[in-house]
Amino acid sequence: METTELNQLSQLAHNYLSSLGIGDEYSKYLITGLWMIFTLLTIWLTNKLTKSYLLRFIEKLVRKTKSQYDDLLIKRHVLRRLSNVIAVILLYYMLPVIFQPFTETEIIDLLQKIVSSSILIIILWSFSALLGVVNDIYNTFSYAKDRPIRGMIQIIEIAASFITGLVIVHILFDIDITKIVTGLGATAAVLLLVFKDTILGFVAGIQLSANKMVSAGDWITMPSYKADGTVLDITLNTVKVQNWDKTITTIPTYKLVEDSFINWKGMEHSGGRRIKRSINIDVASVKFCSAEMIERFKKIRLLHNYILEKEDELLKHNKQKEGESISESLANGRRLTNIGVFRKYLEQYLQENPMINKEMTYMVRQLQPTEKGQPIEIYAFSKVQEWINYESIQADIFDHILAVVGEFELRIYQLPSGADLNSHHNLKATL
């Protein structure tokens, strides 16, 4: 039924009410109220039929298809959102009929402008859901993890919202869009200040994606923001990191480009996780090996061949020193030291440890001596990267080191405790 026919019905109703003795003023409001009730019931019924039957029928057809992509339209409620346009369009065309008894056309024009703006908002709302579908489809590809487009999607959403806003202003106030854009040019500096983080985030998002600096699921460490955990989400303005204590740290996206951070993805893909820890040897316990110590070291399986080879090497070297009495002083000739043998033992121990990755660097080295002794550092890579197992492997290695160091007549350096001082005081008192 067209609008002109509906207007004719209004006129017939007006004539009928007049014949009943109802005045023109009352009949106008009565007819308007009846049309309003009719319109609301029609809109409700149309919306009910659309969502309960038409949409359900379409959703059943979509679910029967082999492709999984169209299922995302249902998941994101794209069609359900868009279906609201039908009811609003119906209201738009019914407004002239509802207010036909009134001569003030300005009211009808204003209401139609408001309804038109509502249609644009619903379309924008549906478009936003459609962009979510695009993002979901993109995330099904293998390269999406390294190059997320979430930031680009948000930029498109902002641009669509901006354009929709301009069109709504144009509809409501009859202002030329070109004049609106020209007027915005004068406030560009203010807009740049307001959307500074958004602009910086957009540029940073492109850099992060293009250079593969970080992606969702990566383990990153950023001390300046106390972030140490897994990246949950990368948006236009923020990067969410779930720390190992289950707290959430939110970092401005552009800060990942501006400041430094550590991405552990390389370690996770390398096949090993670095162990880099040292113990401090009391320098006073370092000495040359005696004959008795050498014989004892020969009984250690990991050192047996090394001691035999080293004895032959040192014997040949010392015999070449003519006129030099090796036995007169320990400083003459070359001799084994307990710390050197201990270092070799640790190398052999790492060599035989099944949890150390032999394809990556592993060594035992001396660091610069300090006031806390001589550091002996273990530098190796475990075969596993998972945190709990990694810590267990590292702990096992140093448990063994701390327990075996006494076999080489070495002492671990540590600051004296209260018990040590009391023991020393009691010893002096006894003497």
At 76, the amino acid letter reads: R
The predicted-structure confidence for 65-115, as pLDDT tens digits, reads as follows: 877 777 888 888 888 888 888 888 888 888 877 776 665 567 778 888 888
Nearest-angstrom CA–CA distance, 409 and 337: 10
Q: Is the domain covering 273-315+333-419 a CATH 3.30.70.100 domain?
A: yes
Which pLDDT score, from 0 to 100, does residue 301 have?
93
Q: Which of 20, 43, 16 is nearest to 98 (CA)?
A: 43
Which pLDDT score, from 0 to 100, does residue 169 have?
86
Which pLDDT score, from 0 to 100, does residue 1 have?
46
pTM of the model: 0.52
Burial class (CB in 10 A: 0-12, 13-18, 19+), 303: buried
Which pLDDT score, from 0 to 100, does residue 158 have?
81
Nearest-angstrom CA–CA distance, 205 and 202: 5
Which pLDDT score, from 0 to 100, does residue 342 have?
96
Q: Tokens 């070799």 label which residue?
A: 344
Alpha-carbon distances, residue 348 vs 297, 305, 340, 362 (angstroms): 13, 11, 13, 11
Q: What fold does the segment set 144-152+165-263 form as a domain? A: SH3 type barrels. (2.30.30)
Q: Domain boundaries in the chain?
A: 3-140, 144-152+165-263, 273-315+333-419
Residues of the chain with pLDDT under 70: 1-29, 31, 100-105, 146, 181-192, 194, 210, 321-331, 417-431
| Coil, helix or strand at residue 409 | coil
Q: Which of 199, 254, 196, 204 is nearest to 225 (CA)?
A: 254
